[in-house]
Amino acid sequence: MFRFGCSTRQVARRSTLNFRCHSFSEVSSDFNSESRPPTINQKELDAWIAEPKQFALSDTLHPERLADLFITIPSRDGTRKPFHEPRKGQRLPPGFEIAFFHFRTPESQLRTDGTDGELCPPDPFSRRMWASGKMTWDIKNPLLIGEKATANWTVDSVQKKGFDTGKPMLFVNKRIEFTMIGKNTPSLVEERVHVYLPDAGVQSRAPREVKNIPSSSDFSFTYVPSLTTLFRFSAIMWNAHHIHLDKDYAVQHEGYPERLVHGPLTSLMLLETVKDHAPSSIIRTFEYRARNPLVVGHANTIHGKYTGDKTIELWCVDEEG
């Protein structure tokens, strides 16, 4: 059973939405490692946690690159409704900043799982998974297609978990402020929580139970993330994480049945499901948490249910229920 969900807020016909999302794609279910607990240099790790960490990127929100992402996802690729080219001066749709502001890391400097090393902890924490996130938009100060903007990254917090049980994990909360050139305040503040795991042997995994999922929905959206979808999304994100591209790595090293769907692809489709259902909605906040993995080639249905005048809860169930 692979599920995820979230909740939102809505106002009148032209809605203003606030999401709280939980339970989707990358971070795994419970696991048991077949190898010994890793050796950790606590002094080196504590020094990394204590040091200030920040990184600044700039990018132009090119409509051509955005069009590549539009054609990659089923909500905008023209197969269900007419395709609309993104135009300069339009608002950047919620979640689509993922097409921009990438770390340009030489291949030789990528970590062993294919991920970037910026703002990442020292060895042995070489495996990264997308754990959760939150986005808050300033709806009066939007990111505009065709304009230049900056993304300022900092690390808000680092949490140690599982160190006393021999299953150490680090939860690193990365804060990103996206600001238009010439503006003094960010248009979007995003938090991305990545969990870092030691490079261990193959894992034995069991899915988590996700409780309190509604028994009915008010709207839904079904799609199948294919190998082509994962390849194109990886390319647009400049993401070489092996878990999305290399079946042998996903199965033999990580213990999954197949390659995994990207966490940010799933979160983007959550946002897109609401926009597909209510095109005039304005999204103010969006918060989600990963629970169980979604795998390539499985049909996923995102469900939405109104839980109040300003809230919608979203969740996804794959074809296995």
**What pLDDT is recorded for position 320?**
79
Total count of domains within the chain: 1
- Domain range for 193: 3-318
**What pLDDT is recorded for position 42?**
93
**What percentage of the chain reaches a pLDDT higher than 70?**
86
**What pLDDT is recorded for position 224?**
98
Whether residue 196 is predicted with pLDDT greater than 90 in this model: the reply is yes
How do residues 14-57 score in pLDDT, each as one tens digit?
A: 445 655 554 444 554 444 444 566 889 999 999 999 999 999 99
Whether residue 261 is predicted with pLDDT greater than 70 in this model: the reply is yes
Whether residue 321 is predicted with pLDDT greater than 80 in this model: the reply is no
- What is the band of 11 on the pLDDT scale with cuts at 50, 70, 90? very low
**What pLDDT is recorded for position 204?**
60
Amino acid symbol at 161 = K
**What pLDDT is recorded for position 319?**
85
- What is the band of 289 on the pLDDT scale with cuts at 50, 70, 90? confident
Packing angle of the helix pair 263-277, 227-237 (nearest 10 deg): 100
Q: How far apart are CA 79 and CA 171, in angstroms?
A: 39
**What pLDDT is recorded for position 12?**
32
How do residues 222-241 score in pLDDT, each as one tens digit?
A: 999 999 999 999 999 999 99
Q: Which residue did the predictor score with more confidence, 128 or 143?
A: 143
CATH number of the domain where residue 95 is located: 3.10.129.10
Mean pLDDT of all residues in 116-131: 90
Q: Which residue did the predictor score with more confidence, 104 or 199?
A: 104
**What pLDDT is recorded for position 309?**
81
**What pLDDT is recorded for position 23?**
44
How do residues 143-195 score in pLDDT, each as one tens digit?
A: 999 999 999 999 999 999 999 998 899 999 999 999 999 999 999 999 999 99
Say if CB 3 and CB 213 are below 8 A apart: yes
Residues pairing with 118 in the sheet:
none
Q: Which residues of 82-92 are buried (b: 16+ CB within 10 A; e: fewer)?
A: eeeebeeebeb
- 3-state class of 266 per DSSP? helix
Q: What angle do CA 313, 221, 84 make, to 5 degrees?
A: 110
**What pLDDT is recorded for position 21?**
53
**What pLDDT is recorded for position 181?**
98
**What pLDDT is recorded for position 2?**
35
Peptide bond into 207 cis (omega under 30): no
Strand segments, DSSP code E, in the chain are 3-7, 16-18, 20-22, 30-33, 54-60, 127-137, 148-161, 169-180, 188-197, 203-206, 219-223, 282-289, 300-308, 311-318
Mean pLDDT of all residues in 254-273: 94
Neighbours of 285 (CB within 10 A): 16
**What percentage of the chain reaches a pLDDT higher than 90?**
69
Edge-first strand order for the sheet with 219-223 is 20-22, 3-7, 311-318, 300-308, 219-223
Say if CB 19 and CB 308 are below 8 A apart: no
**What pLDDT is recorded for position 207?**
75
